Amino acid sequence: MDDYVEPDFAARRAEMVEHQLRERGIRDERVLTAMGEVPRELFVPERRRELAYADAALPIGSEQTISQPWIVAAILQALELHGDEQVLEIGTGSGYSTCLLGRLAKHVVSVERHSSLARAAAEALRACSTDNVELMVGDGSRGVPDRAPFDAIAVHAAAPAPPPGLTEQLAEGGRMVVPVASGKEEMLTLLRRRGSDLETTAIAPCRFVPLIGAEGF
């Protein structure tokens, strides 16, 4: 049997950025740089690390997934982060998007429903020296009202409609990206607060696990 050769994850990361992201319309250079630096393999279960840079979502346990790289990048790009934002993330999952948000914003509060995933994410975030993220376990559909307002909110689970409790926690000019499920279809959707109004823009069709909670399914 041939000796096992460790994959060249750095090369795969660079290829992901060029072919899965840049060539498919991701233009935010801060997002591209962050995704070229964060080791996605640390956020994937060890038995699946060979597939860490596949152009697909991967299971991470508790019937949850780490999203396809392009979807992660599309969410980050739509949030238009410049580095001084307070961000709320709903659905920590593997912690991969959390780590990226930590590089792109000033501070991140991330809520995960499954305590086992939150523990694993915390370990991976420590391995990446991410120190501007707070992890919480609870019902993410309610957000974190006592920490609002947030400049940006990323929701990593599909809701039947944008959760009112989350939209209320958006600052003026704030952006929220949420997968909205309508029948059998899901659309990754950007909402931007303009006073009492919310401007809505469709980003792309998508497929996410459902948002479970008081303001989800």
Residues classed as catalytic: 67
Which helix (H) or strand (E) element contains residue 202? strand 197-205
CA dist 211 to 10, 44, 78, 115, 141, Å?
33, 21, 20, 16, 7
> How many of the other CB atoms lie within 10 Å of CB of 210?
14
Decide: 43 and 69 in contact? Cβ < 8 Å: no
Decide: 211 and 143 in contact? Cβ < 8 Å: no
- DSSP class of 16: I
Decide: 110 and 92 in contact? Cβ < 8 Å: yes
Query: Minimal CA–CA distance to 151: which of 212, 79, 55, 95?
Result: 79
CA dist 11 to 37, 149, 180, 191, Å?
11, 39, 34, 35
Report the alpha-carbon distance of residue 73 to residue 67 in Å, rounded.
10
| Tokens 């801060």 -> residue | 30
**Tokens, residue 4:** 């096992």
